[in-house]
């Protein structure tokens, strides 16, 4: 497993499964880190390897391992043997999800480190194109470290210069990791374009800004707990507002035919057009019930407590599969309610589909702005209220721009009440999208939410155990409680 850390860039003959991304399918072999990265096709091929570490081959966001790592929250549940420890808040350093997700994030980091470390070797590439390449690499590196630090806390901050000497690299503090993430995202927002024509899966300037706003919001909570970051999150989210728009109908967000809509900011898009679906999506099969005409695997689903608490609305109907293909209601089938957001994968070949997994969308930005501005200013502004109320109106099937006294949060709410309302709205709106768990952690609510169902829960559960095989005494230490 430690080989995932080492300076090894895996260049594959397959194109990363994002629609219409034109990359060289057969780059030259990696001969030397000092000579390989010179042409644009070689840099683009390195980006392919970086993307594929995060989305391909049943080990990234194309399958459920990253989602299962968030199953200590109410929205996600699994009873499968390889996943159950995460849901029951008793994971260990040998669990599949811990090992696989850790490895894939570090593979992405290793690939982007190699690319970034060789930018000075570029030949016959315009400054603009080279900046776009750098920006994508730094976005992906920041994206990977953001997940690592939220799941595992202090980890090794690998760079081009140090990653070949991993055994002698001491884990960095959480603050140091966040500072690196911020630096990468600030550079990315300077060099990335607002869009890549015909290539919607690439990170853009808007994606860098949206992720940076989310980073600041997280840093305002545990473990950094620096309230000054609320203002930074508010201001950065404000920069994104207007760049994107809410899809008028919530249910339409999850239709494969509409997957390039203007609410999605950064999304992994699958493909079945190369090598029989090597980069196809798998969430549609894994998250469907195995019986009652659903023909899925039922690897993971939702929790009945989450379903029962979820406000009745068109949004709820689009979020859950509560009635199966043969007409049986989930309770009558003896199951839990299942996830609907991943059901539509378009065309499929075997178990591979053309599905997508959204990592950043505009609704998240609006909720980030609302929470951050309220906390920074001491009370909810008119703009913060409107940001949340647009989402609430859409949830009920109403026009997002038309105020509705029966749906909107009222003016005059206290800071505390509004903060609680926004957190609830994040829970409903962003269900199954890798958010709720991290919200519980930064708000220090992991024990509160789980103690009745899982009496074994402690504050140590805010972090996962690091993979046992990766531990290096004195350099990479196991988290407390494991």
CA dist 336 → 78, 218, 290, 346, 426 (Å): 10, 31, 12, 25, 22
Q: What is the CATH number of domain 2-227+461-470?
A: 1.25.40.390
- Render each residue's pLDDT in the chain as its tens digit; 482 residues: 333 333 233 333 233 333 333 333 333 333 345 446 899 999 999 999 999 999 999 999 999 999 999 999 999 999 999 999 999 999 999 999 999 999 999 999 999 999 999 999 999 999 999 999 999 999 999 999 999 999 999 999 999 999 999 999 999 999 999 999 999 999 999 999 999 998 899 999 999 999 999 999 999 999 999 999 999 999 999 999 999 999 999 999 999 999 999 999 999 999 998 654 358 999 999 999 999 999 999 999 999 999 999 999 999 999 999 999 999 999 999 999 999 999 999 999 988 999 999 999 999 999 999 999 999 999 999 999 999 999 999 999 999 999 999 999 999 999 999 999 999 999 999 999 999 999 999 999 999 999 999 999 999 999 999 999 999 999 999 999 99
**CA distance readout (Å), 412 to 13, 373, 416, 462, 482:** 58, 15, 12, 34, 45
Q: Are 324 and 330 in contact (CB under 8 A)?
A: yes
Rounded to an integer, what is the distance from CA 195 to the centroid of its chain? 20
Q: How far is Cα 450 from Cα 461, in angstroms, rounded to an integer? A: 10
CB < 8 Å & 24+ apart, contacts of 391-395: 391/246, 391/363, 391/366, 391/367, 391/425, 391/429, 392/425, 394/246, 394/248, 394/249, 394/250, 394/315, 395/250, 395/311, 395/313, 395/314, 395/315, 395/428, 395/429
Rounded CA gap, 271 and 262, in Å?
A: 20
Distance from C-alpha of 159 to C-alpha of 167, rounded to nearest angstrom: 14
């Amino acid at each position: 497993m430690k080989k995932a850390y080492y300076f090894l860039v895996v260049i594959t003959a397959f194109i990363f499964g994002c629609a219409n991304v034109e990359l060289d399918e057969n780059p030259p072999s990696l001969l030397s880190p000092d000579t390989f990265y010179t042409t644009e096709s070689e840099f683009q091929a390195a980006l392919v390897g970086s993307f594929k570490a995060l989305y391909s081959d049943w080990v990234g966001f194309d399958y459920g391992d990253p989602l299962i790592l968030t199953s200590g929250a109410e929205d996600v549940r699994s009873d499968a043997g390889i996943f159950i420890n995460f849901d029951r808040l008793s994971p260990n350093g040998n669990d599949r999800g811990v090992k696989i997700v850790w490895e894939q994030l570090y593979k992405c980091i290793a690939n982007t480190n190699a690319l970034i470390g060789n930018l000075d070797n570029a030949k016959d590439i315009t400054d603009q194109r080279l900046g776009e390449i750098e920006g994508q690499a730094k976005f992906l590196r920041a994206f990977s470290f953001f997940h690592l630090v939220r799941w595992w806390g202090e980890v090794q901050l690998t760079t081009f210069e140090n990653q070949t000497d991993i055994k002698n690299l001491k884990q960095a503090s959480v603050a140091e990791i966040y500072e690196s993430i911020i630096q990468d995202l600030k550079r990315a927002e300077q060099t990335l374009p607002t869009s890549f024509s015909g290539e919607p899966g690439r990170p853009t300037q808007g994606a860098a800004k949206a992720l940076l706003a989310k980073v600041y919001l997280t840093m305002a909570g545990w473990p950094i707990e620096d309230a000054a970051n609320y203002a930074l999150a508010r201001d950065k989210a404000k920069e994104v507002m207007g760049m994107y728009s809410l899809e008028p109908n919530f249910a339409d967000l999850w239709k494969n035919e509409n997957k390039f809509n203007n609410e999605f900011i950064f999304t992994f898009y699958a493909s079945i057009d190369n090598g029989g679906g090597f980069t196809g999506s798998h969430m549609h099969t894994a998250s469907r019930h195995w019986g009652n005409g659903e023909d899925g695997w039922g690897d993971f689903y939702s929790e009945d407590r989450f379903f029962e608490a979820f406000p009745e609305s068109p949004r709820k109907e689009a979020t859950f599969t509560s009635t199966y293909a043969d007409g049986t209601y989930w309770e009558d089938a003896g199951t839990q309610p299942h996830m609907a957001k991943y059901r539509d994968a378009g065309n499929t070949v075997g178990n591979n589909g053309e599905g997508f997994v959204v990592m950043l969308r505009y609704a998240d930005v609006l909720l980030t702005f609302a929470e951050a501005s309220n906390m920074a200013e001491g009370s909810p502004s008119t703009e913060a209220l409107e940001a949340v109320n647009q989402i609430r109106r859409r949830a009920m099937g109403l026009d997002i721009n038309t105020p509705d006294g029966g749906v909107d949060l009222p003016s005059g709410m206290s800071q505390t009440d509004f903060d609680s309302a926004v957190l609830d709205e994040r829970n409903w709106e962003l269900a199954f999208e890798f958010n709720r768990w991290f919200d519980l952690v930064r708000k220090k609510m992991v024990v509160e939410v789980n103690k009745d169902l899982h009496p074994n829960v402690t504050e140590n559960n805010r972090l996962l155990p690091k993979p046992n095989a990766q531990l290096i005494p004195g350099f990479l230490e196991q988290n407390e409680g494991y």
